[in-house]
């Protein structure tokens, strides 16, 4: 990240925000602003990192005026703030819309006003053909970010998206849930066929930073990552536990998608990721070099060419 002095991370006290901070502190970036709304987590993070290059800024992405202050002097913004627990979003839909959609619009507007160089949104596979409100709000936020480049043409601000699957070790993920239930002797499995994309926290953060370096504005970056069977994950976490099939939950899929056949028509096969290009007149095909993916290509956790074994999952968990 040459000539970058200040990076702002919204939702910076989360698992991803902390890992991004660890990796950014290894660079020569002078100032890393953690913008979030939980003062206790900020205080704990300040003590854990103990770095004079960190700045902690209490800011809710719903508060546009506060973002005007948080983004002052920023070169890069990584937008990771979101309400993401699926049942909570279903029960509190208005709150999910305010944070995930209106909050994203606020980030875009203020970034353009402040002439921030690059803004990267962190998205999810649940945004693809979404069945639940969380996924729907992230799908909408993706659209806002890509179209935001239309508004930013005079400011020089570039906006793009990274989209990936489940993160090993993130808060609220299935691993700590399974570990907690292991003592009962039984783990609930919604469906024996269920699969998910899997990425480690360090790899997710490194992927985001690499994409920021390469982005031109308007792309959706999708990493090439392995799949795993949820029933295999349960076996890796607690091999001596019984597996109880409890049925699929509302808003849940058997397999997740990271790339649809419709998106594949404008997708480039990069060396480390797939790059979905935008459908706007200002985007030219020669902005990114690389072969197109095959016609009708679909990137699903169920048809992936790379799979994690039970032994590999055990290694990741440990």
Q: 289: Cβ–Cβ under 8 A, 6 or more apart, which residues? A: none
E strand or H helix that includes residue 290: none
Q: How much is the pTM?
A: 0.95
pLDDT in tens, 38-73: 999 999 999 999 999 999 999 999 999 999 999 999
Residue 295 pLDDT grade (very low, low, confident, very high; cuts 50, 70, 90): very high
Residue 286 pLDDT grade (very low, low, confident, very high; cuts 50, 70, 90): low
Residue-averaged pLDDT of the chain: 93
- For every residue of 4-37, DSSP letters joined together read --EEEEETTTSHHHHHHHHHHTTTT-SEEEEEES
pLDDT at 53: 97
Q: Which residues are catalytic?
A: 126
Domains of the chain in sequence order: 6-233+248-317 (3.40.50.720)
Give the count of beta carbons closer than 10 Å to the beta carbon of residue 193.
13
Comparing 251 with 273, which gets the higher pLDDT?
Answer: 273
CA 313 to chain centre: 21
pLDDT, average across residues 259-276: 95
267 in helix, strand or coil? strand
pLDDT at 173: 73
Which CA distances in Å does 129 have to 49, 133, 161, 279, 289?
Answer: 39, 11, 17, 18, 28
Long-range CB pairs of 175-183, under 8 A, 24+ apart, other chains included: 175/233, 175/237, 175/317, 178/233, 178/234, 178/237, 178/238, 179/237, 179/238, 181/238, 181/241, 182/237, 182/238, 182/241
pLDDT, average across residues 4-9: 96
Comparing 170 with 26, which gets the higher pLDDT?
Answer: 26
């Amino acid at each position: 990240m040459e000539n970058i002095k200040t990076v702002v991370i919204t939702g910076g006290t989360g698992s991803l925000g902390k890992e991004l901070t660890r990796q950014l502190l290894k660079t020569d970036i002078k100032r890393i602003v953690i913008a979030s709304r939980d003062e206790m987590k900020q205080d704990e993070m300040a003590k854990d990192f103990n770095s004079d290059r960190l700045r902690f800024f209490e800011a809710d992405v719903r508060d546009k005026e506060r973002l005007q202050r948080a983004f002052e002097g920023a070169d890069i913004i990584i937008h990771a703030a979101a309400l993401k627990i699926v049942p909570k979003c279903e029960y509190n839909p208005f709150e999910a819309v305010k944070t995930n959609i209106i909050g994203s619009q606020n980030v875009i507007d203020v970034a353009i006003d402040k002439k921030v160089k690059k803004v990267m949104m962190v998205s999810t596979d649940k945004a693809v053909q979404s069945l639940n409100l969380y996924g729907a709000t992230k799908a909408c936020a993706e659209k806002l970010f890509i179209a935001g480049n239309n508004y930013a043409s005079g400011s020089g601000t570039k906006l793009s998206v990274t989209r990936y699957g489940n993160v090993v070790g993130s808060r609220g993920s299935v691993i700590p849930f399974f570990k907690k239930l292991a003592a009962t002797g039984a783990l609930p499995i919604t469906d024996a066929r269920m699969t998910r994309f899997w990425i480690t926290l360090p790899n997710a953060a490194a992927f985001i930073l690499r994409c920021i370096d390469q982005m031109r504005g308007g792309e959706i970056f999708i990493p090439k990552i392995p799949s795993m069977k949820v029933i295999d994950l349960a076996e890796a976490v607690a091999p001596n536990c019984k597996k109880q099939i409890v049925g699929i939950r509302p808003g849940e899929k058997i397999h997740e998608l990271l790339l649809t056949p419709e998106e594949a028509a404008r997708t480039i096969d990069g060396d480390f990721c797939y790059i979905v290009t935008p459908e706007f007149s200002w985007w030219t095909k020669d902005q990114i070099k690389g072969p197109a993916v095959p016609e009708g290509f679909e990137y699903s956790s169920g048809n992936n060419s790379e799979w994690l074994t039970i032994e590999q999952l055990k290694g990741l968990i440990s």
